[in-house]
Amino acid sequence: MGTRPFRWFPHDGQRHAVADSLAVGDIGETLCERPVTVPHDAPSKAEWCWPTCAACDSAWRLHEGILPFPRPSMTRGHTARSSLRVVVRA
Ligand SMILES: [Zn+2]
């Protein structure tokens, strides 16, 4: 959609998150601070099946939580959080 600040980026056996502004050939770093170069080839289907990097995932969530312009169509985050708590208690 292009409205999010990050995108997923398969690298070194895990799906990391990088800034969405990174273009092919750019050198940047993942949200868990690994240096990466954006390759010319699109990631393969197998690479998209790699496990999500937990550090990138939590960093992304943190960033999404402090977005300066929350969109009116977004549902509130409280529902997801309380259902998480139920799962933990069960
Ligand atoms: Zn990562």
Classify residue 30: in a domain, yes or no: yes
Q: What is the pLDDT of residues 28-63, one digit of tens each?
A: 999 999 999 999 998 999 999 999 999 999 999 888
Distance CA 55, CA 21 (A): 20
Full residue range of the structural domain in which residue 72 is found: 6-89
Classify residue 71: in a domain, yes or no: yes
* C-alpha of residue 61 to centroid of ligand 1, in Å: 13
Classify residue 28: in a domain, yes or no: yes
Classify residue 17: in a domain, yes or no: yes
Q: What average pLDDT does range 8-16 have in this prediction?
A: 96
The count of domains in the chain is 1
Residue of higher predicted confidence among 79 and 55: 55
Residue of higher predicted confidence among 77 and 25: 25
* C-alpha of residue 51 to centroid of ligand 1, in Å: 10
Q: What is the pLDDT of residue 80?
A: 47
Classify residue 1: in a domain, yes or no: no
CA angle 85, 4, 29 (to 5 degrees): 95
Residue 81 reports pLDDT greater than 50: no
Q: What is the pLDDT of residue 54?
A: 96
Q: What is the pLDDT of residue 64?
A: 83
* C-alpha of residue 38 to centroid of ligand 1, in Å: 14
**DSSP H or E run through 7:** strand 6-11
Burial class (CB within 10 angstroms; exposed 0-12, middle 13-18, buried 19+) of 87:
exposed
Classify residue 44: in a domain, yes or no: yes
